[in-house]
C-alpha cells in the first residue's frame, strides 16, 4: 500500500484525487486541507510515501514551507510539487532541493495519481527513456511540411517495437491536412477539453485520437471553415503534456503562423526541423528563420533545415547541387528530400502513407535516414 499525503486547500482536487484512487487499490490518501501554510503533523508526514504539495510558486513563504517539509521528511519520501507555471529560476530551485516531480496546475486527480504511480514504479525499476518529440515547422506555405511530418512519423513507427507508441499531433489548426492525407477522421474537440484543457486526461485523450491501420495515433481537430481559431496556450500545453505522458515518440505538424504557444512547443521538442522548398527566397528565409530561432531560444538541439522537393536544377543561373544548398543554409542544413511529385500525389489522393504506394521510395528512404539518425551522427553531419 502506498500512502499519498495531499497538502492542498483545493477541495475539488482532493475530491478528484479521492475519486481516482477508488480504482487504484494500491493507494491510500490523507489530506492536509489547511495547505502548505499550516504546519503538517510530523507523524502524518512520516507515514506518507508520497507528499503532494500544492503551492503558489510566486510566494516565498510557500517555498520556505516546502523546504522545511522536505527537511523534515525522510530521504525515502517522494515530494511532488503542484503549481501554476513558474519561472525557470524557481523550477531550477525545485531540482536543487530534490523535488521528485513537478506538475503544472490545473491538473486532475487522475493525473496526480498517474504521476504518483510513476514515481512508485520508478522506485523499483530503472527509468525508461523519456518521450522523443520532433516538430516540423514550415518556412513558407505549401513546402511539404505536412507530407514530411506524416512520413517522419511513419518511419519512426516502422522502427518502433511498440506500434502503439507513436503519435502525430496536428497543430496546424486551420486545415485538416494530416487527417485528409491519412484518410482519418479528426476527433480532437477543443471545446470539450475546456478553455485551458483542464478536462483532458489520459482517458479523454484516448477517445479523442484516431488510429491509423499502421498503429499511428493521430491527434487532430477538425478545422472550422472560414474561422480563425484561437486556442489558449494552456490548452495546447496541456494537450502536449498528456500526449507526451502516453507516447514514446511524438511528431508535431506546426503551422507557419506564430502563436502564443509556438515557442513553448519548440522549447519542449528534442528536434526541430524547418521545412523549405528549393527556391532562392525559400532557402534565404529558412536560413534567417533558423538563425533567429537558434539565437533567441535555447532549444534542446538547434533547429535545422530540411530542403524538400530537392532536384538538381538550374537556379542562381547555374546547376545548384546539394553542396550549394548546404552552403546557402550555413551550418543549418539537415538534409534534402527528393522531389517525387507522382508518388506524393498518389499517396495523398489515396489517403495512404508513401510506402504503401511504393515501398522503398526515395522520399521515405531519405526521411528514414534523417529521423532515425542517432544524435552523434546528427552532430557529425551538421
Ligand atoms: N517530396 C515531394 N515531392 C513532390 N511533391 C511534394 C513533396 N512533398 C510535398 N509535395 C507536395 O507539395 C504540396 C504541399 O504539401 P503539404 O505537405 O500539404 O505542404 P504544407 O504542409 O507545407 O502546406 C502537396 O501537393 C504535396 O503533394
Ligand atoms: Mg500543412
Q: Is 311 helix (H, G, I), strand (E, B) or coil?
A: coil
pLDDT(377) > 80: no
C-alpha cell at 113: 495519481
**Residue ranges making up the domain that contains 287:** 132-381
pLDDT(375) > 70: no
Whether residue 12 is found in the same domain as residue 149: no
251-276 CB burial, b ≥16 within 10 A, e <16 = bbbbbeeebebbeebbebbbbbbbbb
Residue located nearest, by CA, to atom 5 of ligand 1:
341
Q: Last residue of some domain: 78, 107, 124?
A: 124
Q: Is 348 in the pocket of ligand 1 (CB under 6 A)?
A: yes
In this structure, how many other beta carbons lie within 10 angstroms of the beta carbon of residue 68?
13
C-alpha of 51 from chain center: 27
Model pLDDT, residue 230: 83
Q: Last residue of some domain: 124, 148, 179?
A: 124
Model pLDDT, residue 26: 87
Q: Is 138 in the pocket of ligand 1 (CB under 6 A)?
A: yes
Helix (H) or strand (E) holding 146: helix 145-159
What does 166-208 look like in DSSP terms, one character per residue? EEEEE--TT--HHHHHHT------HHHH-TTSTT--HHHHHHH
Whether residue 225 is found in the same domain as residue 366: yes
Q: What's the gap in Å between 324 CA and the centre of ligand 1?
A: 23
Whether residue 143 is found in the same domain as residue 281: yes
Q: What's the gap in Å between 144 CA and the centre of ligand 1?
A: 3
Whether residue 29 is found in the same domain as residue 155: no
Whether residue 283 is found in the same domain as residue 307: yes
- pLDDT tens per residue across span 18-37: 999 998 888 999 999 999 99
Residue located nearest, by CA, to atom 23 of ligand 1:
142
Whether residue 237 is found in the same domain as residue 110: no
- Closest Cα partner for 4 from 135, 113, 125, 131? 113
Whether residue 148 is found in the same domain as residue 186: yes
Q: What's the gap in Å between 248 CA and the centre of ligand 2?
A: 23
Q: What's the gap in Å between 324 CA and the centre of ligand 2?
A: 27
- CATH number (domain holding residue 59): 3.40.50.2300
Q: Is 155 in the pocket of ligand 1 (CB under 6 A)?
A: no
Whether residue 96 is found in the same domain as residue 142: no
C-alpha cell at 69: 517539509
Number of domains into which the chain is organized: 2
- CATH number (domain holding residue 368): 3.40.50.300
pLDDT band at 127, cuts 50/70/90?
Answer: very low
pLDDT(165) > 70: yes
> What is the average pLDDT value for the chain, to the nearest integer?
90
Residue located nearest, by CA, to atom 10 of ligand 1:
144
Q: What's the gap in Å between 345 CA and the centre of ligand 1?
A: 8
Q: Which ligand is nearest to the CA of 348?
A: 1
- pLDDT tens per residue across span 260-311: 999 999 999 999 999 999 888 999 999 999 999 999 999 999 999 999 999 8
Q: Name the DSSP letter for residue 273.
A: E
- pLDDT tens per residue across span 333-372: 999 999 999 999 999 999 899 999 999 999 999 999 999 9
Whether residue 64 is found in the same domain as residue 155: no
pTM of the model: 0.70
| Averaged pLDDT, 315-335 | 79
Return d(Cα 361, Cα 344) in angstroms, integer. Answer: 10
Return d(Cα 185, Cα 182) in angstroms, integer. Answer: 9
Whether residue 17 is found in the same domain as residue 147: no
The DSSP bridge partners found for residue 167 are 217, 250
Whether residue 8 is found in the same domain as residue 157: no
pLDDT(382) > 50: no
Q: Is 38 helix (H, G, I), strand (E, B) or coil?
A: coil
Indicate the top mutation candidate among 135, 136, 142 to test ligand 1's pocket, ranked by most ligand atoms within 8 A of CB. Answer: 142
Q: Last residue of some domain: 67, 98, 124?
A: 124
Whether residue 209 is found in the same domain as residue 62: no
Q: Which ligand is nearest to the CA of 181?
A: 1
Residues by chain with Cβ below 5 Å of ion ligand 2? 145-146, 177
Longest dimension (CA), the chain: 80
C-alpha cell at 18: 479521492
Q: Is 145 in the pocket of ligand 1 (CB under 6 A)?
A: yes
- pLDDT tens per residue across span 188-226: 999 999 988 989 988 899 999 999 999 999 999 999 887
Q: Peptide bond before 106: cis, by omega within 30 degrees of 0?
A: yes
pLDDT(314) > 60: no
In this structure, how many other beta carbons lie within 10 angstroms of the beta carbon of residue 33?
12
Amino acid at each position: 500500500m502506498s500512502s499519498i499525503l495531499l497538502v492542498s486547500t483545493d477541495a475539488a482536487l482532493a475530491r478528484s484525487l479521492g475519486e481516482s484512487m477508488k480504482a487504484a487499490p494500491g493507494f491510500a490518501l490523507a489530506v492536509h486541507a489547511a495547505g502548505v501554510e499550516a504546519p503538517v503533523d510530523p507523524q502524518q508526514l512520516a507515514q506518507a510515501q508520497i507528499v503532494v504539495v500544492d503551492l503558489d510558486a510566486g510566494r516565498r513563504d510557500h517555498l520556505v514551507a516546502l523546504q522545511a517539509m522536505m527537511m523534515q521528511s525522510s530521504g525515502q519520501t517522494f515530494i511532488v510539487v503542484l503549481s501554476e507555471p513558474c519561472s525557470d529560476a524557481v523550477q531550477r530551485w525545485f531540482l536543487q532541493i530534490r523535488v521528485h516531480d513537478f506538475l503544472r496546475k490545473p491538473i486532475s486527480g487522475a493525473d496526480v495519481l498517474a504521476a504518483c504511480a510513476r514515481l512508485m514504479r520508478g522506485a523499483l525499476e530503472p527509468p525508461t527513456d523519456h518521450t522523443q518529440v520532433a516538430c516540423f515547422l514550415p518556412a513558407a506555405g505549401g513546402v511539404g511540411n505536412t507530407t514530411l511530418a506524416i512520413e517522419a512519423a511513419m518511419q519512426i513507427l516502422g522502427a518502433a517495437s511498440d506500434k502503439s507508441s507513436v503519435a502525430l499531433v496536428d497543430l496546424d489548426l486551420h486545415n485538416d491536412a494530416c487527417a485528409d492525407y491519412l484518410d482519418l477522421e479528426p476527433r480532437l474537440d477543443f471545446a470539450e477539453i475546456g478553455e485551458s484543457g483542464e478536462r483532458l486526461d489520459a482517458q479523454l485523450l484516448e477517445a479523442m485520437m484516431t488510429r491509423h491501420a499502421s498503429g499511428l495515433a493521430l491527434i487532430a481537430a477538425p478545422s472550422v471553415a472560414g474561422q480563425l481559431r484561437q486556442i489558449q496556450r494552456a490548452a495546447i500545453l496541456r494537450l502536449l503534456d498528456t500526449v507526451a505522458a502516453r507516447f514514446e515518440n511524438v511528431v508535431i505538424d506546426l503551422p507557419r503562423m506564430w502563436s502564443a504557444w509556438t515557442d513553448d512547443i519548440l522549447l519542449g521538442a528534442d528536434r526541430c526541423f524547418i521545412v523549405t522548398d528549393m527556391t532562392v527566397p525559400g532557402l534565404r528565409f529558412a536560413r534567417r528563420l533558423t538563425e533567429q530561432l537558434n539565437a533567441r531560444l535555447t532549444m534542446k538541439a538547434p533547429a535545422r533545415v530540411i530542403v524538400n522537393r530537392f532536384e538538381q536544377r538550374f537556379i542562381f543561373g547555374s546547376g545548384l547541387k546539394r553542396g550549394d544548398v548546404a552552403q546557402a543554409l550555413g551550418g543549418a542544413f539537415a538534409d534534402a528530400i527528393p522531389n517525387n511529385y507522382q508518388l506524393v500525389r498518389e499517396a495523398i489522393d489515396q489517403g495512404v502513407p508513401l510506402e504503401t504506394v511504393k515501398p522503398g521510395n526515395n522520399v521515405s528512404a531519405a526521411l528514414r535516414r534523417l529521423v532515425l539518425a542517432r544524435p552523434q551522427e546528427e552532430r557529425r553531419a551538421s
